[in-house]
Structure 1
Amino acid sequence: MSTIYDFSARGIDGTEQALDQYRGRVLLVVNVASKCGFTPQYAGLETLYQAHRNAGLTVLGFPCDQFGHQEPGSEEEIRAFCSTKYDVSFPLHAKIEVNGANAHPLYRWLKGEKPGVFGTEGIKWNFTKFLVGRDGQVIRRYAPTDTPAGIEKDILRALAAPAG
């Protein structure tokens, strides 16, 4: 059985990063975009990260340009936007694809673990969220319309659960 710790992803700085470095933490994995109607959720994601990171939460942002060309910038432009507009301090990664033949292996796994409505695996839009427990398994998938504040109770429950 796979866990999120079996994957790696390029950081926004271009370095390959093993997700194993987050072993034992609760993860909120989100495909993000800078020019989307849901972009203000960056603020809520950062609030969650600041409030709960010492308890073991890490938010992982994965920029994606597959939905309405809403993430057209380079990694440097994305990092600058997130830093200046939303003061994002949680880890951001290099731009990826979440659907189709070139979907990142992490997202192929996430979608297989927790399909969406009616069993569909495809990501429907930016700011789809996956909550991963301390054991590296996907707990739940959330729609883009589910706000960070609205899923905080589930995050708190995951933080209170023992690892493994």
Structure 2
Amino acid sequence: MRDATTEREKNKNLKQEFIALRDSNSTTRDNLADTDETVALQTEEIESLKCKLAEQAEQSDNLNSALTLQMREANIAKNELAELKKNMEAALEGHSHKYPSQALKVHQVICHPRGHKHQILKDLLHPRGHTHKTHMCAHKLYQEYLATSHHNSLMQFP
């Protein structure tokens, strides 16, 4: 009888262990299913982040290209400005009232560096971007040109 009681207790203990293992296994399966779902969501999120990163890289490349283009344009403008300044300084050197046609050319270079000849008098009185010294040199040369011109009454300043 004792053996039967001991066997029953063993069976009861084994049954309880089995139930505990079954519950543990069920919990593990649930946890594994949750983990699989979490991994799937994280994989989707990673793919989404990869797409966003690719878009940002493309935008960055576009911005870099635009910046490079603007830097080239700025460098070209800087070189053109340096060349214009050099030409203006060269045009001002050595000219005096003995050369009224040169004074006219110098005035046109200073006030109209791109070859525009309209509104010279207006530009002479209201220079755009010229220093006071440069403007006064052009004004002086222009006045000398007008003073020495033999055809002052017949000529019209362009």
Q: TM-score, normalised by structure 2?
A: 0.22
Tell me which protein shows more helix as a share of its residues.
2
Structure with greater Cα Rg: 2
Tell me the TM-score normalized by structure 1: 0.21
Answer 1 or 2: which has greater strand percent: 1
